[in-house]
Amino acid sequence: MPNLLITGGAGFIGANFVRYWNEKYPNDSLVILDALTYSGNMANLSGLTDFSFFRGDIRDTSLVERLLHDHEVDTIVHFAAESHVDRSINGPDAFIETNLSGTHSLLKAAKSVWLDKGSGKPHRFHHISTDEVYGSLGPNDPPFSETTAYAPNSPYSASKAGSDHIVRAYHHTFGLQTTTTNCSNNYGPYQFPEKLIPLFIINCLTGKDLPIYGDGMNVRDWLHVEDHCRGIDLVLEKGRIGETYNVGGGAELPNVAVIDAICAGVDAAFEHDSQLGRRFPDAPAARGKKSEFLKTHIADRLGHDRRYAIDERKIREELGYEPVRTFEQGFQETLGWYLANEDWWRATMDGSYLKWMASNYSERARRT
């Protein structure tokens, strides 16, 4: 019966993972360590009771050592990070601190408890990373495989690339039992509304512009968060120690296609449910207008990667992974979740969120 420490378990993917694990393995013990930064939210764990929660920083090595020791943790699943590319352009320091130093701090604690003072029992340090470490693809380039050379372009992806290398070094040098997954763009419930899909759903509902960076032809591979959690589960169960696995959603789409799906999905939802017009009177769809009229092209993200794509053969062939949702299914479920959970997303849009949004988007408007 594994005892898991989940870092960043109150964030978007971490909380979905806690829900996934709790449902599938109800007898396992879950300890969550989360600093509750702007994107960490206890409401993401609402309705769950079967976990121990510690508010704290992954850089606090002695706290982590204590948690590993006291809870007899044998598996760390490391999600905690600064995760938004735009924020990394605005202020890279926190990304180096959390993603690079924080991951190193966790590794030191794991080495100390599991290897230096430990009994040599099997253990696992699973690191969650991103496809962005591989850089940007041209339209005809082959997708990223686990052997693609690292070429990170943003402070965010550089900090994640650095963390991947430190994880690798702790395995190679000290024998720590590590695995890493590099996944594509996640979407689903509880995603903080600074990322494309939740932001644009909410802007359609509240009648705000849909700010498309540049020409909107940047390509991402969209992965439903529950498919991602299944991929992590398979790597924890059967992944080879010291290996990395790419996890994709099999849904490579230009941003404009995703945005058109959001607009059409919101318009259709209003046609089918007359309550929505009363709940969201500022939505164009409430007045029988199309959401697509909110689309606005603004100045591009600095250093904006053009295309990401995942070659998922390794995880499919070795571990039997494949995403179970198409983008259309996953998006409909996600839209349904945001329509049903207005209280959740309104509560995330506090003063500091509004300040960040204003500075990010007014700076771009000036550059347009």
**Which residues contact ligand NAD (rule: CB under 6 A)?**
7-8, 10-14, 33-37, 39-40, 57-59, 79-81, 83, 98, 102, 128, 130, 160, 183, 185-186, 192
The residue from 110, 212, 262, 310 that contacts ligand TDX (CB under 6 A) is 212
Q: How far is the CB of 158 from ligand NAD (least distance, A)?
A: 12
Mask for 6-45, x = binds ligand TDX (CB under 6 A): ----------------------------------------
Backbone angles phi, psi at 46, to 5 degrees: -60, 145
Least CB distance from residue 107 to ligand TDX, whole Å?
20
Task: Give the shortest CB-15-to-ligand NAD separation in angstroms.
Answer: 8
> Does residue 308 carry a catalytic annotation?
no
Among 45, 60, 68, 84, binds ligand TDX (CB under 6 A): 84
The DSSP result for 246-298, as a single string, is: EE--S-EEEHHHHHHHHHHHHHHHHHH-HHHHHH-TTSGGGGT--GGGGEEEE
CB 190 to ligand NAD: min, Å = 8
18-20-21 Cα angle (round to 5): 65
Which residues does 357 contact at the CB level (< 8 Å), separation at least 6?
A: 194
Question: What minimum distance in Å lies between the beta carbon of 288 and ligand TDX?
Answer: 26
Quote the CA–CA distance of 286 and 281 in Å, as a whole number: 6
Cα 158 to Cα 161: distance, rounded to the nearest angstrom? 5
Q: Which is nearer to ligand TDX, 126 or 195 (CB)?
A: 195
Q: Which stretch binds ligand TDX (CB under 6 A): 95-103, 212-220, 229-237, 318-326?
A: 212-220
Q: Which stretch binds ligand TDX (CB under 6 A): 81-89, 111-119, 315-323, 337-345?
A: 81-89
Q: Of how many residues is the chain composed?
A: 368
Annotated catalytic residue, options 134, 156, 170, 321:
156
Find the binding residues for ligand TDX in span 174-203 (CB under 6 A): 185, 195-196, 199
- 300 part of the active site: no
Residue type, 179: T
Instruction: Evaluate whether 283 touches 205 at the Cβ level (below 8 Å).
Output: yes
The verdict on whether 72 is a catalytic residue reads no
199 interacts with, out of ligand NAD, ligand TDX, none, CB within 5 to 8 A per kind: ligand TDX
CA gap 145, 276 in Å, rounded: 43
Closest residue by Cα to residue 294 from 194, 193, 210: 210
If one counts every other C-beta atom within 10 angstroms of the C-beta of residue 324, the result is 10
Active site amino acids: 131-132, 156
